[in-house]
Structure 1
Amino acid sequence: MSFNPALLIPLQILFESYAQNEALEVISLATTDGFPVHTFTSTNHGLEEDSLSAAASTLHSVSNAVSQQILRKNFKVAFIEAQQGNVAFVDLSIDGSSYVLVMSANETLNIASLRLLITRLAAEVVKLSPTTAAASA
């Protein structure tokens, strides 16, 4: 599965616009099989893109398995609440391929605000692809 290279620059611009929110520490898009597409990290946040993508892929698989077992539905959003921040994971389909969008924020951004931001970003990422945007219209 490969991300359309023509969408990479618009994706970077989109991530940078969301990164203006100082509470956000990480914004990342990865394939569900663990390969990074693009990652933004704040300057004070050391993180390996490959490790994050692998972790996001694993959580995507586990979340989907749990959702299938309990709800008989695919998962949409998963959260991890920590003492000093939160992480949200969203399942995305772009041009027929599956991705996982990750956003983490420090404790100054509550989980409801994080959900709102990642949901908005997910919709904008999907709209970057003319094929996917046309199919969802």
Structure 2
Amino acid sequence: MLDTIMINENSQAKAVLSSCIKELCEANREIVLVTLCTTDGFPISCFSINELSNQADKFAAMSSTLSALSDSSASQTQQGECEITIVEATSGNILFVKTDYLSKPCVLTVVAKNKMTLAEARYKTKRLANEITAISA
């Protein structure tokens, strides 16, 4: 069962965002967490398995910080803009992607168990990021 937390945006955009994320999660049971936050660490939406559902603020802070560090690292090493940050853990992968939601920069975070290959998780996360960017007010 997935829990949802959402904050201030118009109801049509909220419904589209919710639909995009729910569709991904329902089709991929290996995904245990999807969060969208502002680049300064405020949660916009959090879909997660029950034991993670009360930590939306922590995930937002973590996601925005890791995204900023990745941007800085890419810039300092003259590698252009950071597109995606991947943390490979023993039980799965965590992917952080910059996207825009309602024309505001955000960070999308997806956590997937090892049963989902990294390539599949990356593809589906990037596709969701593009869907979120396409949402208009």
The TM tier, using the shorter chain, reads 0.7 to 0.9
User: Which structure carries more relative contact order (alpha carbon 8 Å, separation 6+)?
Assistant: 2
Cα distance in 2, alignment partners of residues 121 and 46 from structure 1: 20
RMSD of Structure 2 on Structure 1 (CA) = 1.8
**In structure 2, what is the equivalent of residue 9 of structure 1?**
15
Q: Pick one of 125, 128, 136 that aligns with 2:132.
A: 125
Among all aligned residue pairs of Structure 1 and Structure 2, give the percentage whose two residues are the same amino acid: 26
Q: One-letter code of the match for 1:117? A: K
**Following the alignment from structure 2 to structure 1, what is the Cα–Cα distance between the partners of residues 52 and 102?**
31
TM-score by length of 2: 0.86
Say yes or no: does 1:33 pair with 2:50. no
One-letter code aligned to 2:99: L
With normalisation by structure 1, the TM-score equals 0.86
Q: Which runs of 5+ in 1 are unaligned?
A: 131-137
Equivalent pairs counted in the alignment come to 129
Residue 41 of structure 2 aligns to a residue whose secondary structure is: coil
CA contact (8 A) 1:41 1:47 kept: no
Aligned counterparts of 1:5 and 1:59: Cα–Cα separation in 2: 28
Give the unaligned 5+ runs of structure 2: 1-6
